[in-house]
């Protein structure tokens, strides 16, 4: 991870002209870049890494920004390219994606109140051992449903992550598996000899230079390396077996083979075959209560019980779309009423006192809950409300009566007013 010393030098031990509430978000955003483990506020409250990540999610949600796409309440998190331990970036750079970036997006989706489930959109051949086990454990411990889709490759380290999800879906041509470990040794001794270069290694400790590239690999060292990667393969297989509810030996017996499409389902490494768009729709339908997997039924056996799982008889795409349209039509009036109640609750929140403009900004941010709004408002400075009542604030916010406008028009209007109010609030800060 980069240390960003130039940023640290300008942000730490220097006087800053920052509004206190925003300062919290400022340092939270810097935390992964300058290695801030915790943030202590003036009132003594301490935020760890997870709390800082959560506060950033709430702040970004208020601005309408997310580091991931949300479709039908599902956060779609790409897992692409070669996977490395630390990349200090949310998105892939030069074909490399860090487990830290994936974890940051995952943590954000867990803290996002508008996200009902998480879909890992995977196209990766794998990568480094370091970091993969810890990220897989966080995926397995998710309190929201998690599906993984091989689109078109989830191999080795990428499959380790996929196996921690509630369900694995593959496209017809996708490949999954490669449950094994490899290590490469380079021997440049003959090349150095031909060029007249002699390297002398001076060391303390019998194994200090094991595997160095300046001499052939001794058999004893090779055997030691082989034992190490066998241990790692067993750890990999045990994690997959737990996630897929398979026998460990059955996982090992795959001998790092890669399986395509339906073959992956047959061997137990996947649950269903469907395109990404259909998988997204099936996930959305399952979250709406029309069948599918939830965290309460995680890691059900993929062998011998598939016909008994309601999520395996996936509703056809056309039927799922019809059901979704019916649900939207039935929920339009209820949604308008709920939206007005949400806005009123934020404007009437205890922390909204003397923070009228900030409260309006947060109230008009779609998806912002009264609880998150209250937490944000508590960090903002108080300002005069000019004696306006909650009703007057609602009128000033131009909250439409229940069902007064079509849903699309209301969302468009909310977005425009939110952007304008946030710009005004930011200027004031």
DSSP string, 52-118: HHHHHHHHHHHTT--SSEEETTEEEEEEEEEEES--SSSS-BTTEEEHHHHHHHHHHHHH-TT--EE
Phi-psi region of 70 (alpha: psi -120 to 50; beta: other; left: phi over 0): beta
> Out of 156, 171, 178, 358, which one is annotated catalytic?
156
CA–CA gap between residue 56 and residue 387 (Å, rounded):
32
CA–CA gap between residue 429 and residue 24 (Å, rounded):
13
Pairing of strands 74-84, 96-98: parallel
**∠ Cα 61 331 68 (to 5°):** 25
DSSP 3-state percent helix, strand, coil across the chain (nearest 5): 50, 15, 40
Question: What residues contact residue 398 under an 8 Å CB cut-off, 6+ apart?
Answer: 413, 417
Question: What residues contact residue 32 under an 8 Å CB cut-off, 6+ apart?
Answer: 1, 49, 88, 100, 104
Cβ of 215: how many Cβ atoms within 10 Å? Answer: 15
Pairing of strands 74-84, 69-71: antiparallel
User: How many contiguous H segments (helices) and E segments (strands) does the chain have?
Assistant: 16, 11
Helix (H, G, I), strand (E, B) or coil at 175: strand
Note if 384 is an active site residue: no
Question: What residues contact residue 247 under an 8 Å CB cut-off, 6+ apart?
Answer: 241
Q: Could you give the residue numbers annotated as active site?
A: 156
């Amino acid at each position: 991870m980069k240390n960003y010393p130039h940023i640290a030098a300008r942000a730490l031990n220097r006087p800053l002209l920052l509004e206190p509430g925003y300062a919290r978000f400022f340092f939270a955003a810097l935390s992964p870049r300058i290695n801030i483990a915790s943030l202590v506020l003036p009132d003594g409250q301490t935020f760890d890494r997870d709390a800082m990540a959560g506060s950033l999610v709430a702040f970004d949600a208020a601005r309408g920004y997310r580091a991931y796409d949300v479709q039908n309440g599902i956060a779609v998190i790409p897992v692409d390219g070669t996977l490395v331990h630390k990349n200090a970036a949310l998105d892939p750079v030069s074909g490399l994606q860090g487990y830290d970036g994936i974890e940051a997006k995952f943590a954000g989706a867990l803290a996002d109140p508008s996200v009902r489930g998480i879909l890992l959109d995977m196209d990766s051949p794998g990568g480094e051992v370091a970091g993969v086990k810890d990220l897989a454990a966080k995926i397995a411990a998710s309190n929201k449903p998690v599906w993984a889709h091989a689109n078109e490759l989830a191999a080795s380290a990428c499959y380790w992550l996929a196996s921690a999800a509630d369900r694995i879906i593959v496209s017809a041509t996708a490949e999954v598996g490669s449950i094994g470990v490899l290590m490469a040794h380079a021997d440049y001794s003959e090349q150095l000899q031909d060029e007249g270069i002699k390297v002398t290694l001076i060391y303390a400790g019998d194994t200090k230079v094991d595997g160095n590239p300046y001499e052939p690999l001794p058999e004893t060292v090779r055997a030691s390396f082989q034992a190490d990667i066998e241990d790692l393969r067993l750890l990999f297989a045990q994690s997959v077996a737990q996630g897929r509810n398979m026998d460990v030996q059955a996982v090992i017996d795959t001998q790092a083979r890669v399986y395509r499409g339906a073959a992956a389902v047959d061997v137990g490494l996947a649950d269903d075959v469907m395109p990404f768009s259909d998988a997204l729709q099936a996930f959305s339908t399952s979250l709406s209560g029309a069948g599918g997997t939830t965290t309460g039924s995680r890691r059900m056996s993929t062998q011998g019980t598939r016909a008994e799982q309601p999520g395996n008889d996936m509703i056809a795409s056309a039927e799922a779309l019809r059901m979704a349209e019916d649900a939207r039509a039935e929920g339009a009036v209820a949604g308008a009423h709920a939206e007005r109640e949400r806005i009123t609750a934020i404007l009437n929140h205890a922390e909204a006192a003397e923070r009228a403009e900030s409260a309006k900004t947060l109230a008009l941010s779609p998806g912002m809950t009264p609880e998150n709004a209250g937490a944000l408002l508590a960090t903002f400075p108080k300002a005069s409300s000019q004696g306006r009542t909650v009703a007057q604030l609602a009128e000033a916010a131009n909250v439409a009566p229940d069902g007064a406008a079509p849903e699309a028009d209301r969302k468009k209007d909310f977005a425009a007013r939110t952007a304008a109010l946030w710009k005004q609030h930011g200027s004031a800060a």
